[in-house]
């Protein structure tokens, strides 16, 4: 290039830059839509407990929200539709990180919803933290995710250890009202994955609420196929309650083997098997009847139940076929309420709004807790969405606790 | 004493399950030298299709078994013509690498289609389990799982059946000849096409049947195929490639060690113990416990 | 020789191109390439054993995982943190040395085995390490995993260059092996181990050298990964995927060829990114990924560089049969 051309060239460059930066758009020119990005385990091992149906529900929710006109954003004085951009991460934490990077920088998502399963959420949330994008976790509720001092992550679900608290409260009430005899001992199985270990920790930690003693706590590797060593030991110990903190498949192996070898504790509590009715179908009624567990679904009476139910109807499936609709519903609702409260799409303001959010939703009042101590870890941004204790009765899932939402009474096995 | 007896039976039953996972894999690799990574996925498909037909569509067993038979014969013929023959034609030298690559891709495709398909059309959790719960056998005050014993029994039956097939029948001997000396095999006028096709079809049927038996006791999910292939691989190596009855013995040994080890050290050590045993056995017997064929 | 200079210039040009790429890349592509370089390290290292030595090795991820875990655990130890500003350097060095020592030790029992038995023993090794990491939870954090203290974490741009550098070294090692006496001794072991021993080669020593050589850059890859990721657990660091994909990539590209791993990594990563990042169909991405893999394998089961087309091209270009 000739030197003479250089100076005018630079001038033109400067002009263009100046014009670009000085072209300040008036504040009320709104974006076309609110982009919400997520990766989900739709295929791969983590998809087994909540894969494609979760995607279906999320998409149904999106369409109902948009039909209602979307979200009101005060800054632009208009309602904006939402657009969910959901990728399949194939259950790979590596890929999930790549996809969230893409969502942040290429797809230009405004906000994130978290992926499913703790090992993936813990990695994906680093992207949210890196770019300062609010991420609402829907299912991952392991304390170790929330004890890192991250500022851009919240999770709606109550921390997993607290599931034990709810269960033992029910047991205590049942004993106090003489519906069941006085129980004394608990035996716990903990499957060695973060989530199930957390649930197991809660099983041990909160037993004293009901005055119960934990006589045995066995850790098992993921997907163990033979429980004879444990069953033989426990036949001697004769625990009243057996608390199985494992994934539903492993629990099925245990329940079958216990049944086959004549091991019948007074009550069997397996949190993960009452999330859907399929467990009952697969292990058969002789084993499944009377087993208690937790569920995220109940006959909700408060909050925007209509939106929740309308989306379910639109998928054409029942709530129990969708696995965890309340969690997906809640994470989206929290985000939208946060946007409404902040009145803008500015990420920092929305995040602050979310953190101080208090509103009526399906389970009652929704808010997040900070500096919250859970079994020794200080956690920030954990929500208070509770779980409900349910029992398999007649092939159906009946909520037993809390009493306001109960659909049935505890039946002995 | 009663404890040991129960542990013993439990260990043997677990061994039966391990043998079930692996013997058809050994069949294919010791005769056709194809390393079928999709073995575990076919196993899972056997379980899954049965679950669809039996549990979901509620068809009678007399209808489900013919459908399964036809489905898997059809599948194995596709597999044979689409993959095995293509690879053999490319050159026997590349059979191993080609079969690994091709069956890897097949495994991914099959497991994701089953997982997503099931979750979208059947129920949200693609896990397969048959709610067959036989009454336990009561023996001297102990309860023994009859489901598992049944699995052990059938695994043993199938293995011995295939073993006799390979040793005594014409086609079986032909298959072994094909693996031992391909040139000689051709010279004596046998047709490698028919022999290998028969083996592939039989092995596929056996794999699918094993999957069905497996889910009488342990549930499996749509993505459990690859771990099963890896487990099957380790068991046939422990037994030594080329010995089908050896698989029963190796499985039994592994099962016993796992169960007894879990009892004394805690169930969390079950897998570590079995891996350690595998490793140690290979150190002292580099071709497995009963190995004959070297790959 | 003229041929060598042309080729070297071409390679140099490509490397420079890759080095100046970052400003033009989206951050997700930066991450994709960063991870791809790490896969190239693993695959190239694998090929020392699988391609040159002729032993199918299914534990490449073990070195990756040992490197990752060692550096993470060391950096979390107060003793190491106290020796600022050398902490990172010392921890990295220690992790690499430890991995090499491990490789050297485990080579003795492993190389008593051959063929499929060797392959499965290495697979069992990976499983064993994974299970041990989970069980020894006091030390490693168990299934919860371990965090790298934030002050040592590296951003993706740094990781990109480190990984690129390591990848160049790994491929360079393979290139050197393809022309050196050491590499020739590996190939002779692959072709006929007994004959190699009979001409005076210390076969077990060569095998151990190969094993240790193959472990060092892979451990480095694990270290770079951990420092970028900030968090590792037994699936991320010691998962089966890290041990099973390198042989797959090497096979696809053509084992025993210096550029084989490069091609294999490019193909698989490209297919992966294409189907998971860009194509959103009702059909799951994994299904398409598997089908493509299968089709590619059926057309070129011997790997790209061993296929007749590749030989035709290299014959035309170089007019001689070279391993290159």
DSSP A240-280: SEEEEES-HHHHHHHHHHHHHTT---SEEE-GGGGSSTHHH
Domain count, chain A: 2
Domains of chain C by residue range? 2-318
pLDDT, average across residues A222-244: 93
**Structural domain includes residue A29:** no
Task: Answer yes or no: do A253 and A401 share one domain.
Answer: yes
Which strands form A396-401's sheet, in the order they lie side by side?
A213-220, A185-191, A241-245, A267-269, A292-295, A388-393, A396-401
Among A124-128, A352-356, B1-5, the range scoring the smallest mean pLDDT is: B1-5
* Helices vs. strands in chain A: H and E counts, helices first: 14, 19
**Structure confidence by residue, pLDDT tens digits, C248-307:** 899 888 888 889 999 999 999 998 898 888 877 778 888 888 898 888 888 877 777 777
Which residue stretches of A132-247 are H helix?
143-146, 162-176, 194-205, 228-237
Residues A257, A117 share a domain: no
**Burial of residue A15 (number of CB atoms within 10 Å: 0-12, 13-18, 19+):** exposed
Interval A371-375 mean pLDDT:
88
Average pLDDT, chain C: 89
pLDDT at B293 over 70: no
pLDDT tens-digit readout, C152-169: 999 999 999 999 999 999
Confirm or reject contact between C313 and chain B (CB < 8 A).
Answer: no
Chain segment C307-318, per-residue pLDDT in tens: 777 777 767 765
Question: What ipTM, to 2 d.p.?
Answer: 0.89
- Asked if B13 and B254 touch (Cβ cutoff 8 Å), the reply is no
pLDDT at C161 (0 to 100): 95
Structure tokens of C90? 């010392």
From A225, A217, A215, select the one nearest A199 (Cα to Cα). Answer: A217
Supply angle C-alpha B180, B156, B294, rounded to 5.
25
Fold for domain B2-284? Answer: ABC transporter involved in vitamin B12 uptake, BtuC (1.10.3470)
- In degrees and rounded to multiples of 5, residue C231 shows phi and psi of -150, 135
Is A413 domain-assigned?
Answer: no
Beta bridge partners of B137: B144
Strand pairing report for B142-144 and B137-139: antiparallel
Q: Which residues contact A112 (CB under 8 A, 6 or more apart)?
A: A36, A37, A38, A100, A103, A124, A127, A128, A133, A134, A135, A136
Range scoring the smallest mean pLDDT among A315-329, B70-84, B245-259, C42-56: A315-329
Query: First CA to last CA across chain B, in angstroms?
Result: 43
Same domain, A58 and A128: yes
pLDDT of A173 above 50 = yes
Is pLDDT of A23 > 80?
Answer: no
Average pLDDT over residues A3-12: 56
- The pLDDT tens digits for C79-132 are 888 888 888 999 999 999 999 999 999 999 999 898 888 998 999 999 999 999
pLDDT category, A2, cuts 50, 70, 90?
A: low
Beta bridge partners of A364: A361
- Angstrom CA distances, A173 to A42, A378, A410, C77, C217, stand at 40, 30, 11, 47, 60
How big is chain C, counted in residues?
324
Query: Do the beta carbons of residue A39 and residue A89 sit within 8 Å?
Result: yes
Q: What is the pLDDT of residue A24?
A: 44
Is the pLDDT at A26 greater than 60? The verdict is no
How many Å apart are CA C7 and CA A395, to the nearest integer? 71
pLDDT surpasses 90 at A230: yes
Most C CBs within 10 Å: which of B22, B34, B112, B288, as the mutation test of the C interface?
Answer: B112
Which residue shows structure tokens 């990594």?
C265
Q: Give contacts of A192 with chain B, Cβ < 8 Å.
A: 268
Please give the pLDDT value at position C85: 84
Give the domain extent around A44.
34-160+300-386
Q: What is the pLDDT of residues A274-307, one digit of tens each?
A: 988 888 888 989 899 999 999 999 888 889 999 9
A185 and A260 housed in the same domain: yes
C112, C286, C301 ranked by CB distance to B108: nearest: C286
Indicate whether B128 pLDDT > 50: yes
Q: Do A51 and B126 touch (CB under 8 A)?
A: yes
CA distance B175 to C269: 39
Calpha distance B291→B165 (Å, rounded) = 19
Question: pLDDT confidence of A108, banded at 50, 70, 90?
Answer: very high
Gap between the Cα atoms of C43 and A304, Å rounded:
53
CA dist., res. A377 & res. B125, Å (int): 32
Q: Label residue C130 exposed, middle or buried (CB < 10 Å: 0-12, 13-18, 19+).
A: buried
- Tokens for C169, please give them: 């070294």
Q: Are strands A135-137 and A111-113 parallel, antiparallel or unpaired?
A: parallel
Q: Which is more confident, C148 or A323?
A: C148
Q: What is the residue-averaged pLDDT of chain B?
A: 87
Between A259 and A17, the more confident residue is A259
pLDDT score of A20 more than 50: no
- The pLDDT of residue A186 is above 50: yes
Q: What is the structure's pLDDT at A379?
A: 92
- Residues B101, C297: C-beta atoms closer than 8 Å: yes
Kindly state whether residues A55 and A134 are assigned to the same domain.
Answer: yes
Q: Do C296 and B278 touch (CB under 8 A)?
A: no
| A198 and A72 assigned to the same domain | no
Rg of chain C over Cα atoms, rounded to whole angstroms, equals 20
**Contact predicate A189/A220, CB 8 Å:** yes
Question: Does C291 contact B109 at a Cβ distance shorter than 8 Å?
Answer: yes
pTM (2 decimals)?
0.90
CB contact, 8 Å: B263 with chain C?
A: no
Nearest C-alpha of chain A: how many angstroms from B4? Answer: 10
Query: What pLDDT, in 10s, does the model give residues B226-250?
Result: 999 989 998 988 998 878 888 999 9
Specify burial of residue A25 (Cβ count, 10 A radius: 0-12, 13-18, 19+): exposed
The strand pair at A153-157 and A382-385 is best described as parallel
Q: Which of C294, C306, C310, C311 would best serve as a mutation to test chain B binding (most B beta carbons within 10 A)?
A: C294
Omega before residue C249 within 30° of 0, cis: no
CATH number at residue A239: 3.40.50.2300
Q: What is the pLDDT of residue A203?
A: 94
C290 and B106 in contact by Cβ < 8 A? Answer: yes
Q: What is the pLDDT of residue A96?
A: 94
CB contact under 8 A, A52 and B136: no
Nearest to B97 among C290, C294, C301 (CB): C301
If you measure CA to CA, which chain A residue comes closest to C272?
A95
3-state DSSP assignment of residue A372: strand
Question: 3-class DSSP state for residue B239?
Answer: helix
Q: How confident is the model at residue C320, as a pLDDT? A: 47
H-run or E-run covering A72: strand A71-73
CATH architecture assigned to C2-318: Orthogonal Bundle (1.10)
Give B264 to chain C, closest Cα distance, Å: 16
Average pLDDT over residues B43-57: 90
Q: How far is CA B157 from CA B23, B206, B213, in A?
A: 12, 11, 12
Nearest CA in chain C to B110: C287
User: Over 70: is that where the pLDDT of A128 sits?
Assistant: yes
Whole-number Å distance between alpha carbons of B129 and A330: 32
Do both A228 and A317 map to the same domain? no
Closest alpha carbon within chain C to B294: C115
Cα–Cα distance measured from residue B234 to residue B257, given in angstroms and rounded to the nearest whole number: 15
Return the residue of B nearest to C110 by Cα: B283
For residue A37, which residues of chain C lie inside 8 Å, CB to CB?
A: none
DSSP state of C257: S
Co-location of A284 and A214 in the same domain: yes
Q: Is the peptide bond before A402 cis (omega within 30 degrees of 0)?
A: yes
Read off the pLDDT of residues A301-344 as tens digits, 9 standing for 90 and up.
Answer: 889 999 999 999 998 888 888 878 899 999 999 999 999 999 99
């Amino acid at each position: 290039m000739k030197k003479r051309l250089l100076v005018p060239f630079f001038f033109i460059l400067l002009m263009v830059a100046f014009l670009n930066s000085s072209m300040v758009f008036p504040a009320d020119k709104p974006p076309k839509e609110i982009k919400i990005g997520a990766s989900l385990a739709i295929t791969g091992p983590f998809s087994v407990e909540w894969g494609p149906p979760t995607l279906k529900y999320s998409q149904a929710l999106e369409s109902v929200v948009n039909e209602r006109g979307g979200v009101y954003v005060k800054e632009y004085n208009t309602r904006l539709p939402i657009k969910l951009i959901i990728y399949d991460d194939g259950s790979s934490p590596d890929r999930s990180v790549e996809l969230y990077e893409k969502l942040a920088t290429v797809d230009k998502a405004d906000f994130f919803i978290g992926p499913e399963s703790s090992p993936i959420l813990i990695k994906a949330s680093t992207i949210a933290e890196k770019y300062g994008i609010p991420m609402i976790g829907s299912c991952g509720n392991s304390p170790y995710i929330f004890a890192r001092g991250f500022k851009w992550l919240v999770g709606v679900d109550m921390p997993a250890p607290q599931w034990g608290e709810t269960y033992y409260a029910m047991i205590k009430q049942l004993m106090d009202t003489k519906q069941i005899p006085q129980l004394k001992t608990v035996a716990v199985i903990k499957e060695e994955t973060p989530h199930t270990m957390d649930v197991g920790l809660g099983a041990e930690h909160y037993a004293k609420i009901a005055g119960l003693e934990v006589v045995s706590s066995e850790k098992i590797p993921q997907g163990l196929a033979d429980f004879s060593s444990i069953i033989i030991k426990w036949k001697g110990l004769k625990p009243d309650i057996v608390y199985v903190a494992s994934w539903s498949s492993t629990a099925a192996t245990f329940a079958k083997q216990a049944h086959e070898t004549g091991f019948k504790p007074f009550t069997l509590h397996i949190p993960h098997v009452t999330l859907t009715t399929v467990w009952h179908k697969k292990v058969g009624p002789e084993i499944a009847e009377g087993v208690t567990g937790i569920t995220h679904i109940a006959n909700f009476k408060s909050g925007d139940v209509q939106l929740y139910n309308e989306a379910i109807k639109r998928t054409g499936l029942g709530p129990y076929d969708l696995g965890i609709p309340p969690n997906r519903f809640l994470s989206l609702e929290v985000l939208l309420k946060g946007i409404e409260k902040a009145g803008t799409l500015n990420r920092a303001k929305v995040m602050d709004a979310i953190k101080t959010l208090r509103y009526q939703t399906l389970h009652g009042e929704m808010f997040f807790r900070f500096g919250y101590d859970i079994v020794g870890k200080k956690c920030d941004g954990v929500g208070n969405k509770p779980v409900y204790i349910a029992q398999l009765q007649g092939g159906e899932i009946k909520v037993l606790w809390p009493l306001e939402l109960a659909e049935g009474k505890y039946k002995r096995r | 004493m009663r404890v040991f007896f129960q542990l013993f039976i439990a260990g043997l039953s677990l061994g039966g399950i391990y043998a079930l996972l692996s013997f058809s894999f050994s069949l294919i690799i010791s005769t056709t030298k194809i390393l079928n990574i999709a073995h575990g996925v076919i196993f899972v498909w056997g379980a899954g299709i049965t679950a669809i037909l039996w549990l979901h569509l509620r068809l009678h067993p007399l209808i489900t078994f013919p459908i399964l038979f036809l489905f898997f014969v059809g599948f194995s013929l596709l597999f044979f013509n689409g993959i095995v023959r293509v690879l053999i034609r490319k050159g026997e030298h590349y059979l191993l690498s080609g079969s690994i690559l091709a069956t890897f891709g097949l495994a991914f495709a099959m497991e994701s289609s089953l997982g997503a398909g099931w979750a979208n059309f059947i129920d949200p959790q693609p896990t397969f389990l048959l709610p067959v719960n036989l009454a336990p056998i009561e023996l001297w005050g102990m309860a023994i799982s009859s489901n598992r014993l049944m699995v052990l029994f059938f695994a043993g039956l199938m293995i011995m059946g295939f073993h006799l097939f390979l040793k005594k029948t014409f086609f079986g001997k032909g298959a072994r000849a094909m693996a031992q000396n391909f040139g000689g095999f051709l010279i004596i006028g046998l047709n490698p096409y028919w022999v290998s096709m028969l083996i592939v079809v039989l092995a596929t049927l056996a794999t699918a049947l094993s999957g069905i038996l497996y889910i009488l006791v342990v549930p499996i999910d749509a993505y459990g195929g690859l771990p099963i292939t890896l487990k099957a691989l380790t068991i046939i190596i422990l037994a030594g490639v080329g010995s089908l009855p050896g698989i029963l013995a190796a499985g039994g040994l592994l099962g016993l060690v796992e169960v007894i080890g879990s009892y004394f050290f805690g169930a969390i050590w079950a897998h570590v113990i079995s891996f350690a045993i595998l490793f140690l056995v290979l150190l002292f017997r580099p071709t497995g416990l009963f190995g004959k064929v070297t790959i | 020789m003229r041929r060598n200079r042309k080729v070297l210039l071409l390679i140099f040009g490509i490397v420079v191109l890759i080095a100046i790429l970052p400003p033009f890349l989206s951050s997700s592509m930066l991450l994709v390439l960063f991870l791809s370089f790490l896969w190239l390290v693993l695959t190239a290292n694998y090929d020392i054993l699988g391609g040159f030595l002729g032993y199918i090795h299914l534990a490449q991820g073990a070195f990756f995982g040992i490197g990752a875990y060692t550096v993470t655990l060391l950096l979390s130890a107060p003793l190491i943190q106290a020796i600022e500003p050398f902490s990172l350097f010392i921890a990295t060095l220690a992790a690499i040395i430890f991995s090499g020592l491990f490789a050297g030790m485990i080579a003795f029992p492993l190389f008593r085995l051959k063929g499929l038995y060797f392959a499965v023993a290495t697979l069992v090794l990976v499983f064993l390490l994974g299970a041990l990491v989970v069980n020894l939870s006091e030390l490693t954090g168990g299934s919860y995993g371990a965090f790298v203290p934030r002050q040592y974490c590296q951003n993706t741009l740094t990781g990109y260059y480190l990984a690129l550098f390591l990848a160049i070294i790994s491929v360079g090692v393979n290139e050197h092996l393809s022309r050196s006496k050491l590499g020739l001794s590996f190939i002779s072991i692959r072709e006929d181990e007994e004959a190699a021993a009979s001409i005076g080669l210390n076969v077990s020593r060569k095998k151990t050298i190969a094993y240790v050589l193959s472990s060092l850059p892979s451990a480095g890859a694990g270290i770079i990964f951990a420092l970028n990721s900030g968090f590792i657990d037994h699936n991320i660091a010691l998962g089966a995927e890290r041990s099973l994909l390198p042989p797959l990539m090497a096979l696809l590209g053509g084992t025993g060829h210096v550029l084989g791993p490069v091609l294999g990594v490019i193909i698989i990563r490209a297919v992966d990114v294409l189907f998971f990042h860009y194509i959103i169909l009702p059909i799951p991405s994994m299904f398409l990924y598997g089908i493509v893999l299968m089709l590619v394998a059926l057309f070129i089961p011997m790997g790209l560089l061993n296929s007749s087309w590749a030989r035709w091209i290299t014959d035309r270009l170089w007019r001689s049969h070279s391993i290159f």
